Amino acid sequence: MYALRRWWDRYGIQVALASLALGTALIVRQTQGSLVMETYQLLTRPFHAKPTPQDRIATAQMLELQQRLIELESRNQRLEELLGFTSAKKIKGVTVPVVGRSSDHWWQQITLGRGREDGIEVGSIVLSPGGLVGRVDSVSANTSRVLLLSDPSSGVGVTVSRSRAMGLMRGKSANRAVMEFYEKVPDVRRDDVISTSSLSGRFPSGIPIGRIVSVNLDKSPAPEAVIELSAPVNNLEWAAVYPNSPNLAQPLPLVVPPKPTPSTPSISPSPTQPAAPEVEQ
C-alpha cells in the first residue's frame, strides 16, 4: 500500500494528464470536432457583431437569388440541347415541356404541355437527346399523354444494331427494359446498341433506344437481355414530339472544325457525311 501511494505521488500527475488527453482525443474523434467548434463559437460569441434584421433579410434574399440562378442555368442548358437536337432533324418537331407526372405512374406515362392545337396527334413519336422516350397515346386540345418505353405494357420491336438480331422489348418500371429474342441462340453481347426494328408497327425503324447491360441465354422460353434506356426517362422535363415518319431514323450531321495552326489561317469547317447512329450511355 505504501509502495502504491509512493508511485502515485511520483507519477499521478503524468497519468492523469495522459488520461485526460486520450479521453479528449476520443471525444473529438467521435463527435468529429463538433464539440470543439461549439465551444469555440460559445467563447467567441461576445466578440461577434450581432446581425441586424436587415442583414438577415439581405442574406436570405441573396441565397434565394443564387438558387434561382442555378435553376435557370440548368433549365437554359437543357433547352439549348433540346433546341439544337430538334433543329438538326429533317422533319419539323415540337418542343414540349413535361407538365404532369404521377408518382403512382412515374415510369408509365407523362403529360406534355401541348396538344391537338399544336399539331400533336395520337401516335406521334416522342424523342429526347439520347433516344426514344415513348409514343403519344391520347391528345386533348392543349395537352397530350405519352406512354413511356419503361411501361411494362409498352411492347416495342427492337433489333441489335451490330448483329441485326431481333426481339420484343418491354419496360421494367425503371430506366431499364427487357428484350426477348426471337432466336434461340442470338448473336448478342454486352454493350450492343439497341434500336427500333423494321418489324415494329408503332415506331419507325432505326431510332436509338439504349444499350445491353446483361444477357441471359439460358432464360426459358426465350433468351433475354436487360437494356439500359439511353433517354433520361427518370428526370425528363422537356421532350420533342414528331409525326410518325421514317425520317426520324436519320442520324444527326456531325461537323468537326479543323484545328487552326499559327502558320496557316483557320479554315471554315464543312459538313461531313452523316455518321451511323450512336447511343450515349
Predicted local distance difference test score (pLDDT) of residue 260: 44
Q: Are 204 and 195 in contact (CB under 8 A)?
A: no
- Per-state percent for the chain, helix, strand, coil, to nearest 5: 35, 25, 40
Domain 93-246 belongs in CATH node 1.10.3860.10: no
Q: Where in the chain is CATH 2.40.10.340?
A: 93-246
d(CA 33, CA 37): 6
Predicted local distance difference test score (pLDDT) of residue 205: 84
Whole-model pTM: value is 0.58
Predicted local distance difference test score (pLDDT) of residue 82: 60
* Nearest Cα to Cα of residue 222 among 250, 259, 272, 185: 185
Q: Which residues of the chain have pLDDT under 70?
A: 1-2, 27-38, 40-41, 44-51, 53-57, 59-61, 63-91, 247-281
Tens of pLDDT along 20-36?
Answer: 777 777 766 666 556 66
246 Cα distance to chain centroid: 27
Predicted local distance difference test score (pLDDT) of residue 53: 65
